[in-house]
C-alpha cells in the first residue's frame, strides 16, 4: 500500500482553519495540515513501529510560495534542520526507498490562476516564524494525487 508519513503541527486548529477557509473560498478539498516526511509502499506492521516515534520538532518558516503542481498550489516552505533530516533518513533506511525531502505545508490543493496564488501568498498572515510538530501520522494515499477525489480518498491509518 502507498503510505505517506506526515508530521502534524501542534497548532492544528490554526492551520486547519486556514485550510478550511481556502477550501471553502475556492471549492477545494479539505485535508489535515501536515508536512510529508516520507512516502512509499509499506506493510502495515512496518508502519506501527514509526507511529510510536516521539515527535518534538520545530521547523523555521521560509516563506509562503505557490506552484502549478496540484499538491503545492499554495504552501508554507520550511527550512530543514538536522533533526528533520535524521528522522527522514531513519525512515528511508528502514524501508530501503529513497525520498526527496522538501519540507512544506500545503494550504490548498486546487487549480488556481497565478494571479490568485500570488495574491493569496501576499495576504496570508502566519502567527509565528516557526511551526512546532508533535505527532506523526500515517495516511494511505493514491500514487499521484491530482484531483479533489484523490485527496478525499486519503485515509489515516490507525493502530
Q: What is the tally of structural domains in the chain?
A: 1
* CATH code for position 13: 3.90.1140.10
- Tens-binned pLDDT, residue by residue, of the chain (159 aa): 688 899 999 999 999 999 999 999 999 999 999 999 988 877 767 788 788 888 999 999 999 999 999 989 999 999 999 999 999 888 888 776 777 889 999 999 999 999 999 999 999 999 899 999 999 999 988 777 788 888 988 999 886
The domain in which residue 75 lies consists of 2-156
Angle between helices 44-51 and 82-95 (to 10 degrees): 160
Q: Model pTM?
A: 0.92
- The Cα–Cα gap between 16 and 107 comes to 9
Amino acid at each position: 500500500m502507498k503510505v505517506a508519513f506526515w508530521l502534524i503541527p501542534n497548532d492544528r486548529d490554526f492551520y486547519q482553519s486556514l485550510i478550511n477557509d481556502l477550501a471553502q473560498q475556492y471549492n477545494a478539498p479539505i485535508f489535515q495540515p501536515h508536512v510529508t516526511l516520507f512516502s512509499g509502499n509499506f506493510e502495515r506492521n512496518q508502519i506501527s513501529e514509526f507511529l510510536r516515534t516521539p515527535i518534538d520538532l520545530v521547523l523555521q518558516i521560509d516563506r509562503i510560495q505557490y506552484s502549478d503542481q496540484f499538491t503545492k498550489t499554495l504552501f508554507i516552505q520550511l527550512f530543514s534542520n538536522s533533526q528533520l533530516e535524521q528522522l527522514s533518513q531513519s525512515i528511508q533506511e528502514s524501508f530501503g526507498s529513497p525520498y526527496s525531502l522538501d519540507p512544506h505545508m500545503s494550504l490548498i490543493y486546487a487549480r488556481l490562476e497565478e494571479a490568485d496564488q500570488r495574491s493569496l501568498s501576499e495576504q496570508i498572515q502566519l502567527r509565528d516564524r516557526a511551526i512546532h510538530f508533535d505527532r506523526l501520522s500515517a495516511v494511505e494515499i493514491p500514487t499521484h494525487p491530482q484531483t479533489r477525489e484523490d485527496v478525499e480518498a486519503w485515509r489515516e491509518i490507525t493502530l
